[in-house]
């Protein structure tokens, strides 16, 4: 009986360690060696909007909006602008409620140069300190 408990505990521990690094793994790369220097952290509010792209990130304290896409390319007319890939913790928060807003510290990687008075395309590599608010 004691051996079964130890084996079960060991199996849970090994599984936990094996999956811990996969929590925020993405199937589409956002941050790569080529763009890593341009990625930065910002406090923002992520939400779904009507229009293209559907998901936008407002940088708190500014009048800047980032249009969120999955990864390195910007496809303004494909499905990527409607359902981009997010880190797992952000995806879970979005799935929890329809049309909710997520305030968090986001690591974003720009996908194009910033232009005055225009939404900039970006992807979200990581998010921490999430607070979910219903709209």
pLDDT score recorded for residue 83: 84
- Indicate the average pLDDT of the chain: 80
The mean pLDDT value for 44-57 works out to 92
Q: Of all helices (H) and strands (E), which one includes residue 128?
A: strand 120-133
What span, in angstroms and rounded, lies between the C-alpha atoms of 124 and 110? 9
Report residue 76's pLDDT band, with 50, 70 and 90 as the boundaries: low
Rg (CA), the chain: 18
> Is pLDDT of 128 > 90?
yes
What's the pLDDT score for residue 87? 93
Check residue 98 and give its pLDDT.
Answer: 67
Half-sphere exposure at residue 98, Cβ-oriented, CA atoms within 13 angstroms: 0
Please state the domain count of the chain: 1
Q: Quote the pLDDT of residue 130.
A: 95
In this predicted structure, which of 87-91, 95-99, 102-106, 128-132 has the lowest mean pLDDT?
95-99
Domain span including residue 25:
2-133
pLDDT of residue 25: 65
In whole angstroms, give the CA distance from residue 1 to residue 97.
Answer: 43
Under a CB-based contact definition with an 8 Å cutoff, are residues 45 and 64 in contact?
no
Q: Mean of the pLDDT values across residues 116-126? A: 94
Overall residue count recorded for the chain in this entry: 135
pLDDT of residue 29: 85
Residue 110 has a CB neighbour count (10 Å cut-off) of 15
Contact, 69 vs 122, CB < 8 A? yes
Task: Give 6-47 pLDDT, tens digit per residue.
Answer: 334 344 343 443 334 444 567 888 898 988 999 999 999 999
> What's the whole-model pTM score?
0.76
């Amino acid at each position: 009986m004691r051996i079964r408990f130890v084996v079960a505990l060991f199996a849970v521990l090994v599984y936990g360690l094996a999956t811990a690094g996969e929590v925020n793994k993405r199937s589409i790369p956002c941050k790569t060696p080529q763009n890593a220097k341009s990625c930065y952290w910002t406090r923002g509010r992520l939400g779904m909007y009507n229009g293209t792209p559907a998901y936008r990130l407002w940088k708190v304290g500014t009048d800047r909006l980032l249009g969120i896409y999955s990864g390195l390319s910007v496809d303004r007319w494909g499905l990527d602008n409607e359902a981009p890939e997010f880190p797992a913790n952000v995806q879970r928060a979005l799935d929890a409620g329809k049309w909710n807003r997520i305030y968090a510290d986001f690591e974003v990687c720009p996908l194009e140069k910033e232009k005055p008075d225009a939404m900039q395309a970006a992807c979200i590599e990581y998010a921490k300190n999430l607070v979910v608010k219903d709209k």
